[in-house]
Structure 1
Amino acid sequence: MMQTDSQSLEPTMSHSPQTTILVIGGAEDKVHGREILQTFFNRSGGRDARIAIIPSASREPAAIGNRYRDIFEDMGAKAVQILDIRERYQGEDPMWQNYLEGCTGVFMTGGDQLRLCSLLADTPLMEKILLQVQRGEIVLAGTSAGAAVMGHHMIAGGGSGESPNRSLVDMTTGLGILPQVIVDQHFQNRNRMARLISAIACHTDRLGIGIDEDTCAMFEGADTIEVMGKGTVTVIDPGEVLYTNEPNVGAIDPLSVFNLRVHVLTHGDRYNMQTRTVDFPEQRLSA
Protein backbone atom coordinates (compact mmCIF):
# COMPACT_ATOMS: atom_id res chain seq x y z
CA MET A 1 0.00 0.00 0.00
CA MET A 2 1.21 3.49 -0.82
CA GLN A 3 0.65 6.32 1.63
CA THR A 4 1.06 9.79 0.15
CA ASP A 5 2.38 12.66 2.25
CA SER A 6 -0.41 15.22 2.45
CA GLN A 7 2.17 18.00 2.11
CA SER A 8 3.93 16.54 -0.94
CA LEU A 9 2.02 18.69 -3.41
CA GLU A 10 3.02 22.04 -1.97
CA PRO A 11 4.41 24.28 -4.72
CA THR A 12 8.18 24.39 -5.09
CA MET A 13 8.17 27.72 -6.92
CA SER A 14 9.77 30.79 -5.45
CA HIS A 15 7.73 33.07 -7.67
CA SER A 16 6.94 36.67 -6.83
CA PRO A 17 3.34 37.41 -5.77
CA GLN A 18 3.11 39.42 -9.00
CA THR A 19 3.90 36.40 -11.18
CA THR A 20 1.25 35.62 -13.80
CA ILE A 21 1.39 32.56 -16.06
CA LEU A 22 -1.44 31.80 -18.48
CA VAL A 23 -1.71 28.12 -19.38
CA ILE A 24 -4.13 27.82 -22.31
CA GLY A 25 -5.75 24.60 -23.51
CA GLY A 26 -5.44 25.52 -27.20
CA ALA A 27 -7.83 26.84 -29.86
CA GLU A 28 -8.33 30.08 -27.94
CA ASP A 29 -10.64 32.65 -29.52
CA LYS A 30 -8.57 34.81 -31.89
CA VAL A 31 -11.42 36.59 -33.67
CA HIS A 32 -14.35 37.71 -31.52
CA GLY A 33 -14.06 38.58 -27.82
CA ARG A 34 -10.52 37.15 -27.61
CA GLU A 35 -10.91 37.13 -23.82
CA ILE A 36 -7.85 35.03 -23.04
CA LEU A 37 -5.51 36.82 -25.44
CA GLN A 38 -6.89 40.18 -24.26
CA THR A 39 -6.15 39.19 -20.66
CA PHE A 40 -2.56 38.31 -21.59
CA PHE A 41 -2.24 41.63 -23.41
CA ASN A 42 -3.68 43.60 -20.48
CA ARG A 43 -1.53 41.81 -17.90
CA SER A 44 1.53 42.50 -20.07
CA GLY A 45 0.94 46.24 -19.87
CA GLY A 46 -1.79 46.96 -22.39
CA ARG A 47 -0.68 49.69 -24.78
CA ASP A 48 2.71 49.74 -23.05
CA ALA A 49 3.17 46.00 -23.67
CA ARG A 50 6.35 44.76 -25.30
CA ILE A 51 5.59 41.19 -26.33
CA ALA A 52 7.83 38.38 -27.53
CA ILE A 53 6.19 35.55 -29.50
CA ILE A 54 7.91 32.17 -29.58
CA PRO A 55 6.38 30.06 -32.40
CA SER A 56 9.06 27.35 -32.25
CA ALA A 57 6.60 24.52 -31.57
CA SER A 58 4.90 25.11 -34.92
CA ARG A 59 5.81 23.53 -38.24
CA GLU A 60 5.00 26.91 -39.78
CA PRO A 61 6.55 29.28 -37.24
CA ALA A 62 6.54 32.33 -39.52
CA ALA A 63 2.83 32.02 -40.29
CA ILE A 64 1.71 31.35 -36.73
CA GLY A 65 4.06 34.01 -35.36
CA ASN A 66 2.69 36.59 -37.77
CA ARG A 67 -0.88 35.71 -36.83
CA TYR A 68 -0.28 36.40 -33.15
CA ARG A 69 1.76 39.49 -33.94
CA ASP A 70 -1.16 40.90 -35.92
CA ILE A 71 -3.52 40.18 -33.02
CA PHE A 72 -1.39 41.94 -30.39
CA GLU A 73 -0.56 44.84 -32.69
CA ASP A 74 -4.29 45.23 -33.39
CA MET A 75 -4.87 45.39 -29.64
CA GLY A 76 -2.37 48.24 -29.48
CA ALA A 77 0.84 46.70 -28.11
CA LYS A 78 3.78 49.08 -28.06
CA ALA A 79 6.11 46.49 -29.62
CA VAL A 80 5.80 42.88 -30.78
CA GLN A 81 8.77 40.74 -31.77
CA ILE A 82 8.75 37.18 -33.14
CA LEU A 83 11.57 35.04 -31.74
CA ASP A 84 11.72 32.68 -34.71
CA ILE A 85 14.02 30.07 -33.17
CA ARG A 86 14.48 27.00 -35.38
CA GLU A 87 17.86 25.76 -34.10
CA ARG A 88 19.15 25.39 -30.54
CA TYR A 89 22.12 27.69 -31.13
CA GLN A 90 19.69 30.56 -31.71
CA GLY A 91 18.70 30.31 -28.05
CA GLU A 92 22.18 31.58 -27.23
CA ASP A 93 21.88 34.67 -29.43
CA PRO A 94 22.38 37.80 -27.27
CA MET A 95 19.99 39.67 -29.58
CA TRP A 96 16.99 37.76 -28.22
CA GLN A 97 18.20 38.01 -24.65
CA ASN A 98 18.64 41.76 -25.02
CA TYR A 99 15.11 42.09 -26.36
CA LEU A 100 13.81 40.31 -23.28
CA GLU A 101 15.34 43.02 -21.08
CA GLY A 102 12.53 45.39 -21.99
CA CYS A 103 9.89 42.74 -22.57
CA THR A 104 6.69 42.60 -20.53
CA GLY A 105 5.10 39.45 -21.98
CA VAL A 106 6.20 36.21 -23.65
CA PHE A 107 3.75 34.04 -25.60
CA MET A 108 4.56 30.45 -26.66
CA THR A 109 2.36 29.13 -29.45
CA GLY A 110 1.02 25.66 -30.17
CA GLY A 111 2.49 22.89 -32.28
CA ASP A 112 4.74 20.07 -31.10
CA GLN A 113 5.80 20.20 -27.45
CA LEU A 114 8.75 17.87 -28.07
CA ARG A 115 10.07 20.25 -30.70
CA LEU A 116 9.59 23.22 -28.41
CA CYS A 117 11.49 21.56 -25.56
CA SER A 118 14.29 20.34 -27.82
CA LEU A 119 14.86 23.91 -29.03
CA LEU A 120 14.50 25.81 -25.75
CA ALA A 121 15.31 23.56 -22.78
CA ASP A 122 18.48 24.62 -20.91
CA THR A 123 19.28 27.42 -23.35
CA PRO A 124 20.37 30.86 -22.08
CA LEU A 125 17.17 32.29 -23.57
CA MET A 126 14.94 29.93 -21.60
CA GLU A 127 16.95 30.44 -18.43
CA LYS A 128 16.45 34.19 -18.78
CA ILE A 129 12.71 33.78 -19.33
CA LEU A 130 12.46 31.57 -16.22
CA LEU A 131 14.35 34.12 -14.15
CA GLN A 132 12.14 36.97 -15.34
CA VAL A 133 9.01 34.92 -14.62
CA GLN A 134 10.22 34.11 -11.10
CA ARG A 135 10.90 37.81 -10.47
CA GLY A 136 7.48 38.79 -11.77
CA GLU A 137 9.06 40.91 -14.50
CA ILE A 138 7.16 39.35 -17.39
CA VAL A 139 3.80 37.69 -17.96
CA LEU A 140 4.22 34.27 -19.59
CA ALA A 141 1.58 32.46 -21.65
CA GLY A 142 1.58 29.17 -23.52
CA THR A 143 -1.17 27.61 -25.61
CA SER A 144 -1.57 23.94 -26.57
CA ALA A 145 2.04 22.70 -26.92
CA GLY A 146 3.11 25.90 -25.18
CA ALA A 147 0.95 24.80 -22.24
CA ALA A 148 2.10 21.17 -22.22
CA VAL A 149 5.74 22.18 -21.59
CA MET A 150 5.00 24.07 -18.35
CA GLY A 151 5.67 21.23 -15.91
CA HIS A 152 8.85 19.39 -15.03
CA HIS A 153 7.12 16.19 -16.12
CA MET A 154 5.53 16.63 -19.55
CA ILE A 155 2.97 14.61 -21.49
CA ALA A 156 4.63 14.06 -24.87
CA GLY A 157 1.77 12.08 -26.38
CA GLY A 158 -0.48 9.10 -25.89
CA GLY A 159 -3.98 7.84 -26.46
CA SER A 160 -7.50 8.58 -25.28
CA GLY A 161 -10.78 6.90 -24.56
CA GLU A 162 -9.40 3.92 -22.63
CA SER A 163 -9.22 3.01 -18.97
CA PRO A 164 -6.17 4.47 -17.22
CA ASN A 165 -3.01 2.46 -17.91
CA ARG A 166 0.68 3.30 -18.22
CA SER A 167 0.81 2.74 -21.98
CA LEU A 168 -1.85 5.43 -22.46
CA VAL A 169 0.60 8.26 -21.80
CA ASP A 170 4.14 9.04 -22.97
CA MET A 171 6.08 11.13 -20.49
CA THR A 172 9.25 13.15 -20.82
CA THR A 173 10.84 16.25 -19.28
CA GLY A 174 9.27 19.69 -19.83
CA LEU A 175 10.60 23.19 -19.24
CA GLY A 176 9.88 23.19 -15.50
CA ILE A 177 8.19 26.59 -15.40
CA LEU A 178 5.47 25.20 -13.11
CA PRO A 179 7.31 22.13 -11.82
CA GLN A 180 4.57 20.90 -9.48
CA VAL A 181 1.97 20.33 -12.23
CA ILE A 182 1.45 18.02 -15.19
CA VAL A 183 -0.57 19.75 -17.90
CA ASP A 184 -2.80 18.14 -20.52
CA GLN A 185 -4.44 20.37 -23.13
CA HIS A 186 -7.45 20.05 -25.50
CA PHE A 187 -8.65 18.09 -22.50
CA GLN A 188 -12.36 17.24 -22.59
CA ASN A 189 -12.40 17.97 -26.33
CA ARG A 190 -10.12 14.97 -26.94
CA ASN A 191 -11.27 12.76 -24.06
CA ARG A 192 -7.97 12.84 -22.17
CA MET A 193 -9.14 12.23 -18.60
CA ALA A 194 -7.76 8.68 -18.48
CA ARG A 195 -4.47 9.89 -19.95
CA LEU A 196 -3.97 12.50 -17.24
CA ILE A 197 -4.98 10.09 -14.48
CA SER A 198 -2.43 7.63 -15.87
CA ALA A 199 0.26 10.31 -15.71
CA ILE A 200 -0.64 11.28 -12.14
CA ALA A 201 -0.70 7.64 -11.01
CA CYS A 202 2.97 7.51 -12.03
CA HIS A 203 3.77 10.87 -10.39
CA THR A 204 1.65 11.18 -7.26
CA ASP A 205 3.68 14.16 -6.00
CA ARG A 206 2.27 16.38 -8.79
CA LEU A 207 -1.06 18.01 -9.61
CA GLY A 208 -2.78 17.13 -12.86
CA ILE A 209 -4.19 20.12 -14.75
CA GLY A 210 -6.44 19.30 -17.73
CA ILE A 211 -7.43 22.36 -19.75
CA ASP A 212 -10.17 22.48 -22.38
CA GLU A 213 -9.93 24.42 -25.63
CA ASP A 214 -10.57 28.18 -25.45
CA THR A 215 -9.95 27.90 -21.72
CA CYS A 216 -7.12 29.16 -19.53
CA ALA A 217 -5.72 28.24 -16.14
CA MET A 218 -4.11 31.47 -14.95
CA PHE A 219 -1.47 30.87 -12.27
CA GLU A 220 -0.93 33.88 -10.01
CA GLY A 221 1.78 34.02 -7.40
CA ALA A 222 2.78 30.70 -5.91
CA ASP A 223 -0.60 29.30 -5.01
CA THR A 224 -3.65 30.44 -7.02
CA ILE A 225 -5.18 29.17 -10.26
CA GLU A 226 -8.04 31.16 -11.77
CA VAL A 227 -10.12 29.78 -14.65
CA MET A 228 -11.26 31.82 -17.63
CA GLY A 229 -12.77 30.94 -20.98
CA LYS A 230 -15.57 28.82 -22.34
CA GLY A 231 -14.62 25.36 -21.07
CA THR A 232 -13.37 23.72 -17.90
CA VAL A 233 -10.13 23.13 -16.06
CA THR A 234 -9.92 19.72 -14.40
CA VAL A 235 -7.65 19.40 -11.37
CA ILE A 236 -6.47 15.88 -10.52
CA ASP A 237 -5.24 15.97 -6.91
CA PRO A 238 -3.48 12.82 -5.60
CA GLY A 239 -2.60 14.42 -2.26
CA GLU A 240 -4.75 11.95 -0.29
CA VAL A 241 -4.30 8.88 -2.50
CA LEU A 242 -4.15 5.77 -0.31
CA TYR A 243 -3.09 3.21 -2.88
CA THR A 244 -2.27 2.65 -6.54
CA ASN A 245 -1.25 -0.58 -8.22
CA GLU A 246 0.87 1.36 -10.72
CA PRO A 247 4.26 -0.03 -9.56
CA ASN A 248 3.03 -3.62 -9.72
CA VAL A 249 1.18 -4.03 -13.02
CA GLY A 250 2.11 -4.25 -16.67
CA ALA A 251 2.07 -1.29 -19.04
CA ILE A 252 -1.29 -2.20 -20.59
CA ASP A 253 -2.98 -3.40 -17.38
CA PRO A 254 -5.68 -1.12 -15.94
CA LEU A 255 -4.67 1.10 -13.04
CA SER A 256 -6.26 1.27 -9.60
CA VAL A 257 -6.08 4.61 -7.78
CA PHE A 258 -7.86 4.95 -4.43
CA ASN A 259 -9.03 8.24 -2.91
CA LEU A 260 -8.10 10.42 -5.88
CA ARG A 261 -9.69 13.88 -5.70
CA VAL A 262 -11.04 15.58 -8.86
CA HIS A 263 -12.23 19.17 -9.27
CA VAL A 264 -13.90 20.48 -12.43
CA LEU A 265 -13.66 24.28 -12.54
CA THR A 266 -15.35 26.80 -14.82
CA HIS A 267 -14.97 30.50 -15.58
CA GLY A 268 -14.28 32.51 -12.43
CA ASP A 269 -13.48 29.54 -10.19
CA ARG A 270 -10.24 29.73 -8.22
CA TYR A 271 -8.13 26.87 -6.89
CA ASN A 272 -5.57 27.24 -4.11
CA MET A 273 -2.59 24.92 -4.59
CA GLN A 274 -1.35 25.45 -1.03
CA THR A 275 -4.56 24.35 0.68
CA ARG A 276 -5.87 22.32 -2.29
CA THR A 277 -9.29 23.94 -1.95
CA VAL A 278 -11.63 25.76 -4.31
CA ASP A 279 -12.72 29.35 -3.70
CA PHE A 280 -16.22 29.92 -5.05
CA PRO A 281 -17.14 33.25 -6.68
CA GLU A 282 -19.46 35.24 -4.40
CA GLN A 283 -22.11 35.52 -7.09
CA ARG A 284 -22.40 31.72 -7.25
CA LEU A 285 -22.73 31.41 -3.48
CA SER A 286 -25.60 33.89 -3.51
CA ALA A 287 -27.35 32.37 -6.54
Structure 2
Amino acid sequence: MLRLESQFLTERMPQPTKTAVMIIGGAEDKVHGREILHSFFYRAGGADARIAILPCASREPAILGSRYQSIFEDMGAKTVAILDIRDRDQCEDPAWQEFLEDCTAVFMTGGDQLRLCSLLADTPMMDKVRMRAQRGQITLAGTSAGAAVMGHHMIAGGGSGEHPNRSLSDMAIGLGIIPEIIVDQHFHNRNRMARLLSAIAVNPDRLGVGIDEDTCALFEGDGLLHVIGKGTVTVIDPKKMSYTNQCLVEESTSPLSLHDLRVHILTHGDRYDLKRRESIPPETVSR
Protein backbone atom coordinates (compact mmCIF):
# COMPACT_ATOMS: atom_id res chain seq x y z
CA MET A 1 0.00 0.00 0.00
CA LEU A 2 1.04 3.61 -0.52
CA ARG A 3 2.83 5.07 2.52
CA LEU A 4 3.92 8.53 1.44
CA GLU A 5 4.43 10.96 4.32
CA SER A 6 3.44 14.52 3.44
CA GLN A 7 0.58 17.01 3.14
CA PHE A 8 -0.74 18.56 -0.04
CA LEU A 9 -0.81 22.27 -0.90
CA THR A 10 -2.97 23.35 -3.81
CA GLU A 11 -1.39 26.72 -4.52
CA ARG A 12 0.02 27.40 -7.94
CA MET A 13 3.62 28.51 -8.48
CA PRO A 14 5.79 28.57 -6.49
CA GLN A 15 5.15 24.87 -6.04
CA PRO A 16 5.51 23.09 -2.70
CA THR A 17 8.67 21.12 -2.09
CA LYS A 18 7.00 18.08 -0.49
CA THR A 19 7.48 14.73 -2.13
CA ALA A 20 4.82 13.00 -4.21
CA VAL A 21 4.15 10.32 -6.78
CA MET A 22 3.23 12.16 -9.98
CA ILE A 23 1.43 10.15 -12.67
CA ILE A 24 1.37 12.12 -15.93
CA GLY A 25 -0.90 11.27 -18.85
CA GLY A 26 1.79 12.01 -21.44
CA ALA A 27 2.55 14.88 -23.82
CA GLU A 28 3.15 17.23 -20.89
CA ASP A 29 4.09 20.80 -21.82
CA LYS A 30 7.88 20.88 -22.26
CA VAL A 31 8.13 24.32 -23.92
CA HIS A 32 5.87 27.04 -22.51
CA GLY A 33 4.51 27.06 -18.95
CA ARG A 34 5.85 23.59 -18.12
CA GLU A 35 3.50 23.57 -15.12
CA ILE A 36 3.75 19.85 -14.40
CA LEU A 37 7.50 19.66 -14.96
CA HIS A 38 8.01 22.74 -12.75
CA SER A 39 5.95 21.06 -10.04
CA PHE A 40 8.16 17.97 -10.30
CA PHE A 41 11.29 20.13 -10.16
CA TYR A 42 10.20 21.95 -6.98
CA ARG A 43 9.06 18.73 -5.33
CA ALA A 44 12.44 17.25 -6.21
CA GLY A 45 14.09 19.98 -4.15
CA GLY A 46 14.42 22.91 -6.55
CA ALA A 47 17.99 24.16 -6.72
CA ASP A 48 19.04 21.26 -4.47
CA ALA A 49 17.39 18.63 -6.69
CA ARG A 50 19.34 15.50 -7.57
CA ILE A 51 17.27 13.90 -10.32
CA ALA A 52 17.63 10.46 -11.88
CA ILE A 53 16.06 10.09 -15.33
CA LEU A 54 15.03 6.58 -16.39
CA PRO A 55 14.42 6.67 -20.17
CA CYS A 56 14.52 2.90 -20.67
CA ALA A 57 10.91 2.70 -21.88
CA SER A 58 12.06 4.51 -25.03
CA ARG A 59 13.69 2.97 -28.10
CA GLU A 60 15.83 6.13 -28.18
CA PRO A 61 16.69 6.49 -24.49
CA ALA A 62 19.73 8.71 -24.97
CA ILE A 63 17.81 11.27 -27.02
CA LEU A 64 14.76 11.36 -24.76
CA GLY A 65 16.84 11.30 -21.60
CA SER A 66 18.92 14.22 -22.82
CA ARG A 67 15.79 16.25 -23.52
CA TYR A 68 14.55 15.94 -19.95
CA GLN A 69 18.07 16.46 -18.63
CA SER A 70 18.26 19.80 -20.44
CA ILE A 71 14.84 20.85 -19.13
CA PHE A 72 15.67 20.18 -15.49
CA GLU A 73 19.18 21.62 -15.76
CA ASP A 74 17.72 24.79 -17.27
CA MET A 75 15.34 25.00 -14.31
CA GLY A 76 18.38 24.94 -12.01
CA ALA A 77 18.59 21.39 -10.67
CA LYS A 78 21.83 20.64 -8.83
CA THR A 79 22.44 17.29 -10.53
CA VAL A 80 20.63 15.43 -13.31
CA ALA A 81 21.81 11.94 -14.24
CA ILE A 82 20.51 9.75 -17.06
CA LEU A 83 20.39 6.09 -16.07
CA ASP A 84 20.45 4.65 -19.59
CA ILE A 85 19.57 1.04 -18.77
CA ARG A 86 19.58 -1.34 -21.73
CA ASP A 87 20.21 -4.58 -19.87
CA ARG A 88 18.89 -5.84 -16.52
CA ASP A 89 22.43 -6.43 -15.28
CA GLN A 90 22.97 -2.65 -15.34
CA CYS A 91 20.41 -2.35 -12.54
CA GLU A 92 23.09 -3.67 -10.19
CA ASP A 93 25.62 -1.02 -11.17
CA PRO A 94 27.09 0.23 -7.83
CA ALA A 95 27.45 3.83 -9.04
CA TRP A 96 23.80 4.04 -10.10
CA GLN A 97 22.70 2.32 -6.92
CA GLU A 98 24.60 4.92 -4.92
CA PHE A 99 23.04 7.78 -6.89
CA LEU A 100 19.53 6.39 -6.33
CA GLU A 101 20.26 6.13 -2.63
CA ASP A 102 21.07 9.85 -2.45
CA CYS A 103 18.85 11.34 -5.17
CA THR A 104 15.79 13.45 -4.40
CA ALA A 105 13.67 12.45 -7.41
CA VAL A 106 13.24 9.93 -10.22
CA PHE A 107 11.57 10.62 -13.57
CA MET A 108 10.43 7.75 -15.82
CA THR A 109 9.87 8.76 -19.44
CA GLY A 110 7.43 7.53 -22.05
CA GLY A 111 7.88 4.74 -24.57
CA ASP A 112 6.82 1.12 -24.18
CA GLN A 113 5.63 0.04 -20.72
CA LEU A 114 6.43 -3.62 -21.40
CA ARG A 115 9.99 -2.68 -22.26
CA LEU A 116 10.21 -0.58 -19.10
CA CYS A 117 9.01 -3.41 -16.88
CA SER A 118 11.16 -6.01 -18.61
CA LEU A 119 14.24 -3.97 -17.72
CA LEU A 120 13.31 -2.74 -14.23
CA ALA A 121 10.81 -5.10 -12.58
CA ASP A 122 12.15 -7.19 -9.68
CA THR A 123 15.59 -5.57 -9.76
CA PRO A 124 17.48 -4.09 -6.79
CA MET A 125 17.30 -0.70 -8.50
CA MET A 126 13.51 -0.73 -8.83
CA ASP A 127 13.09 -2.11 -5.32
CA LYS A 128 15.07 0.87 -4.04
CA VAL A 129 13.05 3.38 -6.06
CA ARG A 130 9.74 1.86 -4.94
CA MET A 131 10.74 1.78 -1.28
CA ARG A 132 11.98 5.37 -1.25
CA ALA A 133 8.89 6.64 -3.10
CA GLN A 134 6.46 4.82 -0.80
CA ARG A 135 8.29 6.18 2.25
CA GLY A 136 8.07 9.74 0.93
CA GLN A 137 11.86 10.04 0.64
CA ILE A 138 11.81 10.99 -3.05
CA THR A 139 9.45 12.41 -5.64
CA LEU A 140 8.71 9.85 -8.34
CA ALA A 141 7.15 10.82 -11.67
CA GLY A 142 6.18 8.77 -14.69
CA THR A 143 4.78 10.04 -17.97
CA SER A 144 2.91 8.01 -20.60
CA ALA A 145 4.49 4.52 -20.37
CA GLY A 146 6.11 5.65 -17.13
CA ALA A 147 2.58 6.32 -15.85
CA ALA A 148 1.10 3.03 -17.02
CA VAL A 149 3.49 0.98 -14.85
CA MET A 150 2.52 2.59 -11.52
CA GLY A 151 -0.05 0.01 -10.42
CA HIS A 152 0.34 -3.69 -9.65
CA HIS A 153 -1.85 -4.46 -12.66
CA MET A 154 -0.87 -2.65 -15.87
CA ILE A 155 -2.55 -2.04 -19.21
CA ALA A 156 0.15 -3.14 -21.61
CA GLY A 157 -1.76 -2.37 -24.79
CA GLY A 158 -5.07 -2.80 -26.55
CA GLY A 159 -7.61 -0.97 -28.66
CA SER A 160 -9.80 2.10 -28.22
CA GLY A 161 -13.12 3.56 -29.22
CA GLU A 162 -15.19 0.36 -28.93
CA HIS A 163 -17.59 -0.97 -26.35
CA PRO A 164 -15.88 -2.61 -23.35
CA ASN A 165 -14.80 -6.17 -24.11
CA ARG A 166 -12.16 -8.63 -22.95
CA SER A 167 -9.99 -8.19 -26.05
CA LEU A 168 -9.72 -4.43 -25.59
CA SER A 169 -7.12 -4.37 -22.79
CA ASP A 170 -3.95 -6.47 -22.70
CA MET A 171 -2.97 -6.79 -19.05
CA ALA A 172 0.43 -7.36 -17.46
CA ILE A 173 2.13 -6.85 -14.11
CA GLY A 174 3.38 -3.32 -13.41
CA LEU A 175 5.89 -1.95 -10.91
CA GLY A 176 3.48 -1.71 -7.97
CA ILE A 177 4.25 1.82 -6.81
CA ILE A 178 0.56 2.37 -5.99
CA PRO A 179 -0.75 -1.20 -6.19
CA GLU A 180 -4.46 -0.46 -5.85
CA ILE A 181 -4.84 1.51 -9.10
CA ILE A 182 -4.88 0.69 -12.81
CA VAL A 183 -3.68 3.60 -14.93
CA ASP A 184 -4.51 4.45 -18.53
CA GLN A 185 -2.75 7.40 -20.14
CA HIS A 186 -3.48 9.74 -23.11
CA PHE A 187 -6.97 8.98 -21.90
CA HIS A 188 -9.64 11.10 -23.56
CA ASN A 189 -7.15 12.14 -26.24
CA ARG A 190 -7.12 8.55 -27.54
CA ASN A 191 -10.66 7.56 -26.56
CA ARG A 192 -9.61 4.95 -23.98
CA MET A 193 -12.62 4.90 -21.65
CA ALA A 194 -13.78 1.50 -22.91
CA ARG A 195 -10.27 0.10 -22.52
CA LEU A 196 -10.06 1.12 -18.87
CA LEU A 197 -13.58 -0.17 -18.21
CA SER A 198 -12.53 -3.49 -19.72
CA ALA A 199 -9.54 -3.67 -17.38
CA ILE A 200 -11.70 -2.85 -14.35
CA ALA A 201 -14.24 -5.53 -15.30
CA VAL A 202 -11.49 -8.13 -14.94
CA ASN A 203 -9.97 -6.49 -11.83
CA PRO A 204 -12.91 -5.10 -9.80
CA ASP A 205 -10.81 -4.78 -6.66
CA ARG A 206 -8.77 -1.98 -8.29
CA LEU A 207 -9.47 1.69 -8.94
CA GLY A 208 -9.32 2.86 -12.54
CA VAL A 209 -7.44 6.12 -13.17
CA GLY A 210 -7.50 7.57 -16.70
CA ILE A 211 -5.25 10.59 -17.21
CA ASP A 212 -5.42 13.02 -20.12
CA GLU A 213 -2.39 14.49 -21.83
CA ASP A 214 -0.65 17.42 -20.09
CA THR A 215 -2.44 16.38 -16.89
CA CYS A 216 -1.12 14.83 -13.69
CA ALA A 217 -2.68 12.71 -10.94
CA LEU A 218 -0.58 13.58 -7.91
CA PHE A 219 -0.48 11.34 -4.83
CA GLU A 220 0.85 12.24 -1.40
CA GLY A 221 0.63 10.59 1.99
CA ASP A 222 -2.66 12.26 2.87
CA GLY A 223 -4.60 9.59 1.01
CA LEU A 224 -5.76 12.05 -1.64
CA LEU A 225 -5.33 12.16 -5.39
CA HIS A 226 -4.80 15.76 -6.59
CA VAL A 227 -5.22 16.95 -10.16
CA ILE A 228 -2.98 19.48 -11.88
CA GLY A 229 -2.74 20.36 -15.56
CA LYS A 230 -4.94 21.24 -18.51
CA GLY A 231 -7.06 18.11 -18.93
CA THR A 232 -9.01 15.72 -16.72
CA VAL A 233 -8.42 12.70 -14.54
CA THR A 234 -11.18 10.08 -14.73
CA VAL A 235 -11.62 7.84 -11.69
CA ILE A 236 -13.65 4.64 -12.13
CA ASP A 237 -14.71 3.18 -8.80
CA PRO A 238 -16.07 -0.41 -9.01
CA LYS A 239 -16.44 -0.86 -5.25
CA LYS A 240 -20.25 -1.06 -5.47
CA MET A 241 -20.42 -2.73 -8.88
CA SER A 242 -23.37 -5.11 -8.63
CA TYR A 243 -22.87 -7.15 -11.79
CA THR A 244 -20.55 -7.84 -14.70
CA ASN A 245 -20.84 -10.56 -17.32
CA GLN A 246 -17.12 -10.69 -18.10
CA CYS A 247 -16.85 -14.29 -16.86
CA LEU A 248 -19.89 -15.36 -18.83
CA VAL A 249 -19.35 -14.05 -22.35
CA GLU A 250 -17.84 -16.62 -24.69
CA GLU A 251 -16.32 -14.34 -27.32
CA SER A 252 -13.51 -12.00 -26.28
CA THR A 253 -15.03 -9.26 -28.43
CA SER A 254 -18.54 -9.56 -26.94
CA PRO A 255 -19.76 -6.46 -25.10
CA LEU A 256 -19.29 -6.37 -21.34
CA SER A 257 -21.95 -5.37 -18.84
CA LEU A 258 -20.82 -3.35 -15.81
CA HIS A 259 -23.59 -2.27 -13.41
CA ASP A 260 -23.44 0.45 -10.75
CA LEU A 261 -19.99 1.83 -11.37
CA ARG A 262 -19.20 5.25 -9.95
CA VAL A 263 -17.32 7.62 -12.25
CA HIS A 264 -15.62 10.91 -11.32
CA ILE A 265 -14.29 13.44 -13.85
CA LEU A 266 -11.75 15.64 -12.09
CA THR A 267 -10.09 18.84 -13.32
CA HIS A 268 -7.30 21.06 -12.05
CA GLY A 269 -7.61 21.62 -8.32
CA ASP A 270 -10.04 18.75 -7.72
CA ARG A 271 -9.16 16.00 -5.28
CA TYR A 272 -10.24 12.41 -4.74
CA ASP A 273 -10.16 10.68 -1.37
CA LEU A 274 -8.81 7.17 -1.96
CA LYS A 275 -9.96 5.86 1.42
CA ARG A 276 -13.47 7.29 1.42
CA ARG A 277 -13.89 6.82 -2.35
CA GLU A 278 -15.30 10.29 -2.93
CA SER A 279 -14.30 13.40 -4.87
CA ILE A 280 -13.62 16.76 -3.24
CA PRO A 281 -14.11 19.98 -5.26
CA PRO A 282 -11.55 22.74 -4.72
CA GLU A 283 -12.41 25.64 -2.45
CA THR A 284 -11.01 27.97 -5.09
CA VAL A 285 -9.66 27.28 -8.54
CA SER A 286 -7.14 29.62 -10.14
CA ARG A 287 -6.22 28.96 -13.74
Q: Could you say whether these structures have the same fold, taking a TM-score greater than 0.5 normalized by the shorter chain as the test? A: yes
8 Å CA contact 1:13–1:222 kept in 2: the answer is no
Query: Are 2:3 and 1:14 equivalent residues in the alignment?
Result: yes
- Post-superposition offset of 1:249: 0.9
Query: Are 2:150 and 1:150 equivalent residues in the alignment?
Result: yes
Aligned to 2:93: 93
Aligned to 2:26: 26
Distance between the aligned counterparts of 2:189 and 2:175, measured in 1? 25
Query: Are 2:105 and 1:105 equivalent residues in the alignment?
Result: yes
Distance between the aligned counterparts of 1:248 and 1:81, measured in 2? 50
Aligned to 2:191: 191
- Post-superposition offset of 1:94: 1.4
- Post-superposition offset of 1:19: 5.0
Query: Are 2:57 and 1:68 equivalent residues in the alignment?
Result: no
Give every structure 1 segment of 4 or more consecutive aligned residues whose post-TM-superposition deviation is greater than 6 Å: none
Which aligned pairs between 1:1-287 and structure 2 lie closer than 5 A?
12-17=1-6, 19-221=19-221, 223-250=223-250, 251-283=252-284
Distance between the aligned counterparts of 1:146 and 1:223, measured in 2? 21
Q: Compute the RMSD of aligned alpha carbons.
A: 1.0
Report the AA paired with residue 219 of structure 2. F
Distance between the aligned counterparts of 2:243 and 2:195, measured in 1? 18
What SS class does the counterpart of residue 247 from structure 2 fall into? helix
Distance between the aligned counterparts of 1:212 and 1:61, measured in 2? 23
Report the AA paired with residue 37 of structure 1. L
- Post-superposition offset of 1:201: 0.5
8 Å CA contact 1:19–1:134 kept in 2: the answer is no
- Post-superposition offset of 1:93: 1.1
- Post-superposition offset of 1:14: 3.3
> Given the two structures, how large is their TM-score scaled by the length of structure 2?
0.93
Deviations 1:189-218 (A, max 9, x none): 000000000000000000000000000000
Aligned to 2:12: none
- Post-superposition offset of 1:174: 0.4
> Given the two structures, how large is their TM-score scaled by the length of structure 1?
0.93
- Post-superposition offset of 1:16: 2.8
What SS class does the counterpart of residue 284 from structure 2 fall into? helix
Deviations 1:42-71 (A, max 9, x none): 001000100000000001000000000000
Distance between the aligned counterparts of 1:227 and 1:76, measured in 2? 25
Q: 1:154 to 1:222 in 2, by over 3 A?
A: farther
What SS class does the counterpart of residue 130 from structure 1 fall into? helix
- Identify unmatched segments of 5+ residues in structure 2: 7-17
- Post-superposition offset of 1:101: 2.0
8 Å CA contact 2:4–2:20 kept in 1: the answer is no
- Post-superposition offset of 1:222: 5.5
Distance between the aligned counterparts of 2:3 and 2:214, measured in 1? 29
8 Å CA contact 1:148–1:154 kept in 2: the answer is yes
8 Å CA contact 2:19–2:44 kept in 1: the answer is no
Distance between the aligned counterparts of 2:35 and 2:167, measured in 1? 36
- Identify unmatched segments of 5+ residues in structure 1: 1-11
What SS class does the counterpart of residue 3 from structure 2 fall into? coil
- Post-superposition offset of 1:13: 2.6
Report the AA paired with residue 203 of structure 1. N
- Post-superposition offset of 1:72: 0.1
Report the AA paired with residue 168 of structure 2. L
Q: Which moved more, 1:33-42 or 1:222-231?
A: 222-231
